[in-house]
Amino acid sequence: MTGRDMIAIGASAGGVEALIATLRTLPGDLPAALFVVLHLPAQSPSLLPDILNRACRLTVLHPKDGAKVAYGHVYVASPDHHLLVEHDTIRVTRGPKENRHRPAIDPLFRSLAYSYGPRAVGVVLTGALDDGTSGLLAIKQRGGVAVVQDPAEALYRSMPQSALAHVAVDYCLSLAEIGPLLTRLAYEPMQTEQPSPPTEELQREIRITAMETNPLNKHDQTGKPSAYSCPECGGVLWEIQDGKLLRFRCRTGHAFSPESVLAEQSEQLERALWAALKTLEEKVSLMRRLTLQSQENEHSWLAQRYETQWREAEEYAKLLRRILLQGTLELPGAGNEKIEEADPETLA
């Protein structure tokens, strides 16, 4: 009998250290395949397979599209590509971003849930915001096992906390305990239970990520239209109520949790304010110059008019600069975490 032999692990900020601690305890002959998504900058070369190969006894690599799944291997998502698994075949795609990321954790988790049902194990490690929660819920709904790093020891605890809040998690463990658990789950035969069939919605979302088709353009949207626009492309976001979890997807396939929408809106607002500050400072400079020129030409009424505009723009610029420098646009995350997930170790 087969054990829980298809294991997906998702991490973000602080994830390299967490992955090393998890994988180093696994035996080299583990009767399972592992799939890893770590949020990485799109244009940054990833040395993660090299780092993990030095830390564990399994074979770690970036897979090619169409590769066959093999036990004893750890398949790591490449930068700017989603990693999916379809019935023992690996898919590497550049589908729409999810939760502002490509690769994202949720698509990988959903693909394992769809293809393997009870054989799937999902593991959510350290990270900001909440990528991984929706995919972990899909794994649970298909009879798989949900594992979460104890938020108390996570460097960034938002991702584990989100999973715990929305999913009936089977295990909440320290990093030192997760590796031995995965080994035990891989070796222990499963109870012969008939899994619930995958939903059409689950299959549809996997097809969107795989770029096989876009069912959303065939008037086959899941959920209902919302009053919000997609931060990526400006299209209408459709609301999907997945158990207790609210999430969004647009017509072109971009997917977001509410926290991800807020984070992207915050960044867009900050960019807009910096642009406004630049325009105001240019206006101050020009009005000052026109004021001095009018004074030299003895056009006092015109100089007064320009100076009034100069002083008003200067006050607005001071206000904007104060708002931006105080960082009041940052969204408060759990434990006062910043939205930015860039992490020095992920740039290696």
The set of catalytic residues is 12, 39, 131
- CB contact set of 194 (below 8 Å; sequence gap of 6+): none
Residue 212: count other Cβ atoms within 10 Å of its Cβ.
Answer: 12
3-state SS assignment for residue 33: strand
Task: Concatenate the DSSP letters of all residues of 151-187 into one string.
Answer: TTT-SS-HHHHHHHHHS--SEEE-HHHHHHHHHHHHH
The one-letter amino acid code at 163 reads A
Q: What's 101's DSSP letter?
A: B
Report the Cα–Cα distance between both ends of the chain, in Å, rounded. 40
Q: Report how far apart, in Å, the C-alpha atoms of 330 and of each of 36, 159, 262, 337 are.
A: 29, 18, 10, 9
Distance from C-alpha of 245 to C-alpha of 129, rounded to nearest angstrom: 14
